[in-house]
Structure 1
Amino acid sequence: MRLKNDPSIKFTNNNMDKKRENTQIKEDKTEVAKNTMLNETMKPERAKKISKSKGKSFPVFAFVGVLILALMTLTVIILSSLDSKAQELKKLRNEALDAQASSRVEKEDLDIKSIQENVEKINSLFPNETGLVNFVREIEKMKEGGVVKGISFVSQDAVRDKNKYLGIPFVIDMEGSWESIDLALQGIEKLPYLVRTITVEARVSEGGGVNFKYGGFIYVDESLAKNR
């Protein structure tokens, strides 16, 4: 038998292989076409899902951004309001102290005019060297209350005011609340001396306390004109 060497059998086998290859190629093309159609069909759905996802996330981020901006704006407004209110309160308090000081000055000026009419009756109100030492001691006693911190003299020499009366300027340092400082000022007024208010300076500390400087002028005896 010569089947192995028969040319017709080889030809038939080759034809069958080509048919199989063609069939596989057609099947592959068909599968690719199906996949392509499926992808094209899914694109709009995926696009919709992505669009919906973005649509949901954008409003959330937008809301958070607006909320943060609103809180920052509110914080700035509150801080500005607190600062303006604090400055306004400080201004009003200083104006009240200035008004109180002005009323004291007018009162002391009236006292000085009455002294001109009857010097002999109130001569004891003008301290000499000893009386001035006693005045300092009275101020030092007030330190026990914790408000008055000390007294210092601006000048070592007695000077004359616009009315030609002799006196010595001084400064008393105080620390405390407005109420305690007011009580200390009342205590100074009650001392048996003629004291005129010249300046007042107040500064509110971070803790809410008040640093207060009281500038006054104590009228003294003429004997101190050359002794100091």
Structure 2
Amino acid sequence: MQSLEADLVFFAFAVPAVVFAGVSKGGFGSGAAFASASILALIIEPGQALALMLPLLMLIDVAALRPYWRRWSSKEAAVLILGGIPGVALGAWLFSALDADAMRLMIGTLSVAFVIWQMRGHLGFSLQAGRVLPGWAGALAGGVGGFTSFVSHAGGPPVAVYLLSKKPSKTEYQATTVLVFWVLNLAKAIPYAGLGLFSIETLRLDLLLAPFALLGTWLGVRLHHSIPERLFFAVAYVLLTLTGVKLIWDGLT
């Protein structure tokens, strides 16, 4: 791996990326948080970007747990976590051999297709459209989310697809994603360490970037509680679309 230097160029990319991750995970369901690792991958190696972001994502998870404590759907969270843990294990097993671009392309396509399906027949956003997905689909979404979360921190879209189909309140939706990814990110930490992704340099930079992660989380929680529920889900669908398009782009290029 290349040497990491905490210079002005690095922080010019890293600070906005980390704040954005905090806002996304703290207020809008984690759907776009994966983009932070993509931004960092513009200036450092992808493996280093993943390793740098994981402790920060874990810090954001912990900071977001308190404001959303016990406001999640325990049933849906359990389904997603039970599916997600094997997905994380599969990601760890195949990390060195898998074709990450093909997986990005698949998840991105499914995310955009889901939004189109939910919005079909309507002009603009319709939050009541679409079919409620069954429990087995939640386990599958959790498995895919755990897998893609391990290899690219892009577990948000599959989880969002399942949860949005259940038509939760905005806070139930947000709290459930916080709980699910708190568990999955904890599960990722040990295999990340075993694969040698962490280093003294990445952990040192994590300490420097931690205040910005907390700032972004605080902003996300404030925004979550200050905007109307219909607008919240409109933003959630937009973020899901944007992340899907970005995953498709990354997979093709």
Give TM-score scaled by structure 1 length: 0.24
| Bigger radius of gyration | 1
Give the number of the structure whose residues are more often helix, by fraction: 2
Bigger fraction of residues in strand? 1
Alignment TM-score, normalising by the size of structure 2: 0.23
